[in-house]
Structure 1
Amino acid sequence: MTDEGEAEATKRDTSRRYLVPVARLELPGEPDLVHLSLCQWLPRVEEWATGLALCGRSAEQGALPEDMAVTCPECEAYRPKYQAVLDRELA
């Protein structure tokens, strides 16, 4: 996670999950896109972790700054569905 990403992560509620921008996995042939991933607190290791991108592609571990523009159109297409689920978790 970047220094800026770490600062933002300290402001998060550890009982919630968040949608965050993540970098593409640095593999040959992977498009240079910024993806979206779920970020959640892992109490066992006491760190925030991200998973696969919403589009299913592998992504680098750790969130990018929250104001980073997501450039993956597939991740953006999934955003409303995932956000609706996260919003329901708050209710």
Structure 2
Amino acid sequence: MTDEGAAEAVTLDTSRRYLVPVARLELPGEPDLVHLALYQWLPRAEEWVTGLALCGRSTEQGALPDSTAVTCLRCEAYRPKYQAVLDRAPA
């Protein structure tokens, strides 16, 4: 779900948050992993943004395509808990 792809493929609800794959920071020594992060609409900036990875690592800003495989085992371990909370969130 890239910023451009998300808008074209699916109209996202700006009042909700989503889990999306995100890229690692391009820093020396940073493991080459794809992480999961929350994706939410930021009204002040008028754009979709991502936060820290679920595992706590800093990542590049923006979502990767939905088809991107998440390779961080710590993020995957947190996925069920985060997804359950997001599924229960009021629309």
Fold shared per TM-score above 0.5: yes
Instruction: Give the equivalent residue in structure 2 for 1:15.
Output: 15
Matched, 1:39 2:39: yes
Matched, 1:79 2:51: no
Instruction: Give the equivalent residue in structure 2 for 1:5.
Output: 2
CA distance in 1, matches of 2:90, 2:70: 24
Alignment of 1:29-68 (within 5 A): 29-68=29-68
CA distance in 2, matches of 1:34, 1:43: 27
The normalised TM-score by structure 1 is 0.91
- Sequence identity, in percent? 77
CA distance in 2, matches of 1:78, 1:52: 13
Structure 2: gaps of 5 or more residues? none
User: How many residues end up aligned between the 2 structures?
Assistant: 88
CA offsets, 1:31-79, max 9 Å, x none? 0000000000001110000010000001000000011000000000000
Cα displacement (A) at 1:12: 1.0
Structure 1: gaps of 5 or more residues? none
Matched, 1:70 2:70: yes
| Secondary structure of 1:28 counterpart | coil
